[in-house]
Structure 1
Amino acid sequence: MGIRELRQNASRYLALVKAGETVEVTERGELIALLVPPPRSYSKRDRLIAAGKLIPASGPTERLRSPRPVPTGPGEPTNQELLDAERDERL
Protein backbone atom coordinates (compact mmCIF):
# COMPACT_ATOMS: atom_id res chain seq x y z
CA MET A 1 0.00 0.00 0.00
CA GLY A 2 1.32 3.45 -0.89
CA ILE A 3 1.70 6.44 1.37
CA ARG A 4 -1.32 8.20 -0.13
CA GLU A 5 -3.49 5.11 0.44
CA LEU A 6 -2.25 4.89 4.04
CA ARG A 7 -2.95 8.56 4.66
CA GLN A 8 -6.48 8.32 3.26
CA ASN A 9 -7.36 5.08 5.06
CA ALA A 10 -5.15 5.16 8.17
CA SER A 11 -7.91 3.98 10.52
CA ARG A 12 -8.63 0.94 8.36
CA TYR A 13 -4.97 -0.10 8.18
CA LEU A 14 -4.39 0.49 11.88
CA ALA A 15 -7.41 -1.72 12.61
CA LEU A 16 -5.71 -4.47 10.59
CA VAL A 17 -2.51 -4.02 12.59
CA LYS A 18 -4.50 -4.05 15.82
CA ALA A 19 -6.02 -7.35 14.70
CA GLY A 20 -2.51 -8.80 14.38
CA GLU A 21 -1.71 -8.27 10.71
CA THR A 22 1.43 -6.70 9.26
CA VAL A 23 0.91 -3.89 6.75
CA GLU A 24 3.60 -3.00 4.19
CA VAL A 25 3.99 0.66 3.21
CA THR A 26 5.59 1.44 -0.14
CA GLU A 27 6.80 4.52 -1.94
CA ARG A 28 6.92 4.24 -5.72
CA GLY A 29 6.79 0.47 -5.37
CA GLU A 30 9.69 0.26 -2.89
CA LEU A 31 9.04 -1.05 0.63
CA ILE A 32 9.79 1.74 3.11
CA ALA A 33 8.00 0.65 6.29
CA LEU A 34 6.21 -2.17 8.05
CA LEU A 35 3.34 -1.53 10.43
CA VAL A 36 3.34 -4.39 12.90
CA PRO A 37 1.49 -5.00 16.16
CA PRO A 38 3.59 -4.76 19.32
CA PRO A 39 4.70 -8.03 20.90
CA ARG A 40 2.31 -9.35 23.54
CA SER A 41 5.00 -8.95 26.19
CA TYR A 42 5.59 -5.28 25.32
CA SER A 43 5.56 -3.77 28.80
CA LYS A 44 5.59 -0.16 29.93
CA ARG A 45 9.32 -0.60 30.59
CA ASP A 46 9.83 -1.78 27.00
CA ARG A 47 7.92 1.26 25.69
CA LEU A 48 10.05 3.64 27.78
CA ILE A 49 13.24 2.02 26.50
CA ALA A 50 12.01 2.21 22.89
CA ALA A 51 11.16 5.90 23.36
CA GLY A 52 14.62 6.61 24.76
CA LYS A 53 13.20 7.68 28.13
CA LEU A 54 14.73 4.79 30.07
CA ILE A 55 18.21 3.36 29.78
CA PRO A 56 18.38 -0.26 30.97
CA ALA A 57 21.14 -1.29 33.36
CA SER A 58 24.30 -2.32 31.55
CA GLY A 59 25.28 -4.92 34.13
CA PRO A 60 23.72 -7.32 36.63
CA THR A 61 21.36 -5.77 39.16
CA GLU A 62 21.25 -8.60 41.70
CA ARG A 63 23.68 -6.76 43.98
CA LEU A 64 21.46 -3.69 44.24
CA ARG A 65 19.62 -3.40 47.52
CA SER A 66 16.91 -1.18 48.87
CA PRO A 67 18.28 1.78 50.78
CA ARG A 68 18.60 1.30 54.51
CA PRO A 69 16.37 3.44 56.72
CA VAL A 70 18.10 6.48 58.17
CA PRO A 71 18.29 6.15 61.95
CA THR A 72 16.50 8.86 63.88
CA GLY A 73 17.66 10.53 67.03
CA PRO A 74 15.88 10.20 70.36
CA GLY A 75 12.46 11.82 70.26
CA GLU A 76 12.47 12.22 66.45
CA PRO A 77 9.66 10.53 64.51
CA THR A 78 10.47 7.60 62.25
CA ASN A 79 9.70 7.69 58.54
CA GLN A 80 6.73 5.40 59.13
CA GLU A 81 5.35 7.72 61.80
CA LEU A 82 5.71 10.71 59.46
CA LEU A 83 3.93 8.83 56.67
CA ASP A 84 1.13 7.76 59.00
CA ALA A 85 0.67 11.34 60.23
CA GLU A 86 0.57 12.68 56.67
CA ARG A 87 -2.01 10.09 55.67
CA ASP A 88 -4.14 10.92 58.72
CA GLU A 89 -4.08 14.62 57.75
CA ARG A 90 -5.43 13.80 54.29
CA LEU A 91 -8.43 11.95 55.69
Structure 2
Amino acid sequence: MERIGVRELRQNASRYLAQVAADHQPIEITDRGRPVARLVPIAADDWENMVAAGEIIPADSGVTIGGIDPVEAGLSASEILQELREHER
Protein backbone atom coordinates (compact mmCIF):
# COMPACT_ATOMS: atom_id res chain seq x y z
CA MET A 1 0.00 0.00 0.00
CA GLU A 2 1.31 3.42 -0.91
CA ARG A 3 2.02 5.77 2.01
CA ILE A 4 2.06 9.57 1.87
CA GLY A 5 2.39 12.26 4.49
CA VAL A 6 -0.32 14.72 5.43
CA ARG A 7 1.62 17.61 3.85
CA GLU A 8 1.96 15.72 0.55
CA LEU A 9 -1.78 14.96 0.55
CA ARG A 10 -2.65 18.57 1.31
CA GLN A 11 -0.47 19.83 -1.54
CA ASN A 12 -1.65 17.25 -4.09
CA ALA A 13 -5.11 16.17 -2.90
CA SER A 14 -6.70 16.17 -6.37
CA ARG A 15 -3.94 13.97 -7.76
CA TYR A 16 -4.31 11.39 -4.99
CA LEU A 17 -8.12 11.38 -5.18
CA ALA A 18 -7.90 10.73 -8.93
CA GLN A 19 -5.31 8.00 -8.34
CA VAL A 20 -7.48 6.19 -5.79
CA ALA A 21 -10.53 6.46 -8.05
CA ALA A 22 -8.61 5.14 -11.07
CA ASP A 23 -6.51 2.40 -9.43
CA HIS A 24 -9.06 1.31 -6.78
CA GLN A 25 -6.13 0.99 -4.35
CA PRO A 26 -6.10 2.64 -0.90
CA ILE A 27 -3.40 5.08 0.16
CA GLU A 28 -2.26 5.26 3.77
CA ILE A 29 -1.89 8.78 5.20
CA THR A 30 0.85 9.38 7.77
CA ASP A 31 1.56 12.17 10.23
CA ARG A 32 5.26 12.34 11.11
CA GLY A 33 5.64 8.78 9.82
CA ARG A 34 2.78 7.37 11.93
CA PRO A 35 -0.27 6.01 10.04
CA VAL A 36 -3.36 8.10 10.87
CA ALA A 37 -5.85 7.48 8.04
CA ARG A 38 -6.55 5.70 4.77
CA LEU A 39 -7.86 7.15 1.54
CA VAL A 40 -9.94 4.35 0.06
CA PRO A 41 -12.10 4.08 -3.07
CA ILE A 42 -15.86 3.84 -2.76
CA ALA A 43 -17.38 0.87 -4.54
CA ALA A 44 -20.32 1.53 -6.87
CA ASP A 45 -22.62 -0.37 -4.49
CA ASP A 46 -21.49 1.79 -1.57
CA TRP A 47 -22.19 4.94 -3.60
CA GLU A 48 -25.68 3.79 -4.55
CA ASN A 49 -26.44 2.76 -0.95
CA MET A 50 -25.34 6.16 0.39
CA VAL A 51 -27.50 7.97 -2.18
CA ALA A 52 -30.47 5.76 -1.34
CA ALA A 53 -29.98 6.39 2.39
CA GLY A 54 -29.77 10.14 1.83
CA GLU A 55 -26.23 10.26 3.22
CA ILE A 56 -24.96 11.97 0.06
CA ILE A 57 -26.65 13.97 -2.66
CA PRO A 58 -25.24 13.63 -6.17
CA ALA A 59 -24.23 16.84 -7.87
CA ASP A 60 -26.75 18.35 -10.26
CA SER A 61 -24.84 18.98 -13.47
CA GLY A 62 -27.43 21.56 -14.50
CA VAL A 63 -26.43 23.97 -11.75
CA THR A 64 -24.81 27.15 -12.94
CA ILE A 65 -23.36 29.99 -11.01
CA GLY A 66 -24.79 33.25 -12.17
CA GLY A 67 -27.61 35.60 -11.65
CA ILE A 68 -26.03 36.96 -8.50
CA ASP A 69 -26.86 40.60 -8.05
CA PRO A 70 -23.80 42.83 -7.76
CA VAL A 71 -23.15 44.37 -4.39
CA GLU A 72 -23.74 48.08 -4.24
CA ALA A 73 -20.72 50.27 -3.60
CA GLY A 74 -20.29 51.11 0.04
CA LEU A 75 -17.92 50.04 2.72
CA SER A 76 -14.88 48.04 1.72
CA ALA A 77 -14.24 44.63 3.21
CA SER A 78 -11.50 46.14 5.37
CA GLU A 79 -13.89 48.76 6.74
CA ILE A 80 -16.54 46.16 7.53
CA LEU A 81 -13.96 43.97 9.26
CA GLN A 82 -12.75 46.93 11.31
CA GLU A 83 -16.34 47.67 12.40
CA LEU A 84 -16.88 44.06 13.42
CA ARG A 85 -13.69 44.04 15.46
CA GLU A 86 -14.64 47.28 17.21
CA HIS A 87 -17.97 45.74 18.25
CA GLU A 88 -16.15 42.76 19.78
CA ARG A 89 -14.19 44.95 22.19
TM-score by length of 1: 0.48
Which has the larger share of strand?
2
**Higher RCO by CA contacts (8 Å cutoff, separation 6 or greater):** 2
Which has the larger share of helix?
2
Which is greater in Rg?
Answer: 1
TM-score by length of 2: 0.49
